[in-house]
Amino acid sequence: MGKKVGKSEYVADFSGDATAGNKQKNALATALDIRKFEIELYWKRAAYFWTFNAAALTGYFIIKRVAKGDVVEELLIVAALGFVFSVAWYFVNRGSKMWQRNWEAQVDILEDEVQGPLYKTAVNRYDYKFFDLTGPFPFSVSGINEILSLFLSLVWSALFVRAIFDVDCSNSKHMFSLLSSIVLVVVVVSLLGIKGRTRSTDSEIPISIRRRTYTESIER
C-alpha cells in the first residue's frame, strides 16, 4: 500500500511553476483529459462485451432450437464462454469505475485553486423527482451498466448449470466435456478475480540501460 496523505500534502506536490506554466493548472488539465479518456474506453469496452454476449446468446438458443442430434458439448462450450465473458465484463466495469473515480477525485482536489469548485458542484441535483417519468434524475450510468453486467452473469450461470444437468452422465465423452468445462470456468474466473487486479503502485521497477561502446576509425 502507498503512503496516505492529506489534501494539503497532495496539493503541495503540484506547487510551483512547470516549464509550460503553472504545475497545478497543468495537472488539472491532464486529470480532466485522462478522465475523458477513461470514459471513452469504458463505452468502447461495453460495446465489445455487449456484442460478444449478444452473439453468444443468439448462438446458444440457435443451437438449442435448431440443431439436430447431440449438441450437449456445444451448449456447454457456449454457456461456459458466455459465463466467463459476462463475469469478465462485470469485473471490467468495476475496474473502470475505480479508475474513473480516481481521476474525478483528483480533479475535485486540484480545481479549487485553479478554477474554483466548478466540477464538483451539481446544481439542483436533489430537486429531481423519481416519479417524474419525463424528467431528469441522478442515476449513475456506470452503476446501471454494472448491474446489467452482473445480471447477465447470473443469466449465463443459470444457462451453464442447465447445460450441466442436460449431460448424460453415462456417456464418458459427455462426462469428460462436463468436467473439462467446469474446471476451465473455475480456473479462468479465479484468475480474473485474483490476477486481474491492479498491482500495487509502490512496487520496485527494475530499469536497465543498454550501454554501447564505439571504436574510432583512423584514416590513413
Q: Where are the domains of the chain?
A: 17-194
With beta carbons less than 8 A apart as the criterion, state whether 107 and 35 touch: yes
Sequence-distant (≥ 6) Cβ neighbours of residue 166 within 8 angstroms: 72, 75
pLDDT tens profile 81-91:
999 999 999 99
Q: What is the pLDDT of residue 69?
A: 72
Cβ-defined contacts of 6-11 (< 8 Å, 24+): 7/109, 10/109, 11/109, 11/110, 11/113
Query: In this prediction, what percent of the chain has a pLDDT beyond 70?
Result: 91
Residue keyed to cell 473502470: 96
The CB density around residue 142, as the number of other CB atoms within 10 Å, is 18
Residue keyed to cell 480474473: 192
Residue keyed to cell 462485451: 49
pTM of the model: 0.81
3 vs 102: which has the higher pLDDT: 102
Q: What is the pLDDT of residue 128?
A: 84
With beta carbons less than 8 A apart as the criterion, state whether 31 and 107 touch: yes
Residue 207's pLDDT band (cuts 50, 70, 90): confident
**Nearest to residue 13, comparing CAs of 119, 101, 110, 104?**
110
